[in-house]
Amino acid sequence: MSSRERKKDKGIPTGVVTRLPIYLRYLTTLRNKGVSRVSSAQLGEALNFTAAQIRSDLSYFGSFGQQGYGYDVNELLHHVSRILGLDRTYAMVLVGAGNLGKALASYENFRKRGFEIRAIFDIDEHLVGNYHACCIIQHVDNLENYLKEHPTDIGIIATPGDVSQSICDIFVRCGVRSIWNFSPVHLHVPEDVIIEHMHLTDSLLRLSFRLNEREQRD
């Protein structure tokens, strides 16, 4: 089956999507080091994937690389960036200006990649009116009005779990089609809304699970 047929098929498998940012990060490192060419074997060794896996992943997006030559780092980086949607900017709105929200708003890497937090909302009267990362923190009561006037690509939820579904509902009602959720709650969204969960506790629990599994084995 050719890459084009597979692509037409239905979406890219989750595993491939998960690996693309890993390729992007590593290729960026290579480019910054002045490396101009890389083979699938070298990519595989650096990233702990097989060379076949890498060739298969990249084949979803067209035919890159040449047998015996490998990949041109700049060209591959350009393709992977485009595939990941990094050839445009994204308007983002953050709700929740606690420590985590502040960390997200200050994260320079996002802005560099085109992900711009354009407004920050919180319920805490002590925070409202303060500047953080070039935004004035606004009261969450204004969220709906703001969204009506400012088309927003991605809604970021960094609130406590007990209010996150209601914030999510406001985003959805106002036409925001992608949600990035940091609250420790499984949020419900309509089928046409994309949601990406960052559950910190889940990640920590995977670590403790493996730690215990290993200690029991040793």
Q: Is the Cβ of residue 64 or residue 110 nearer to its own copies in the bound state?
A: 110
Q: Is the Cβ of residue 35 or residue 207 nearer to its own copies in the bound state?
A: 207
H or E element, residue 145:
helix 143-149
Please report how close the Cβ of residue 27 comes to its own copies at its closest, in angstroms. Answer: 12
Please report how close the Cβ of residue 217 comes to its own copies at its closest, in angstroms. Answer: 8
Q: Which residues bind its own copies (CB under 8 A)?
A: 11-12, 17-18, 20-22, 24-26, 47, 83-86, 90, 98-100, 102-104, 106-107, 109-110, 113, 115, 153-154, 177-178, 180, 184-186, 192, 194, 196, 198-214
Amino acid at 121: F
Please report how close the Cβ of residue 134 comes to its own copies at its closest, in angstroms. Answer: 15
Q: Is the Cβ of residue 89 or residue 142 nearer to its own copies in the bound state?
A: 89
Burial class (CB in 10 A: 0-12, 13-18, 19+), 162: exposed
Work out the end-to-end distance of the chain between its first and last CA atoms, rounded to an integer number of angstroms.
45
What is d(CA 121, CA 145) in angstroms, rounded to the nearest whole number? 12
What is d(CA 61, CA 187) in angstroms, rounded to the nearest whole number? 31
Burial class (CB in 10 A: 0-12, 13-18, 19+), 178: middle
Please report how close the Cβ of residue 206 comes to its own copies at its closest, in angstroms. Answer: 6
Q: Is the Cβ of residue 66 or residue 109 nearer to its own copies in the bound state?
A: 109
Please report how close the Cβ of residue 141 comes to its own copies at its closest, in angstroms. Answer: 24
Evaluate whether 146 touches 167 at the Cβ level (below 8 Å). no
E strands in the chain: 37-38, 71-72, 90-95, 115-122, 131-132, 135-139, 154-157, 178-181, 194-197
Amino acid at 16: V
Q: Is the Cβ of residue 95 or residue 185 nearer to its own copies in the bound state?
A: 185
Q: Is the Cβ of residue 92 or residue 128 nearer to its own copies in the bound state?
A: 92
Please report how close the Cβ of residue 68 comes to its own copies at its closest, in angstroms. Answer: 27
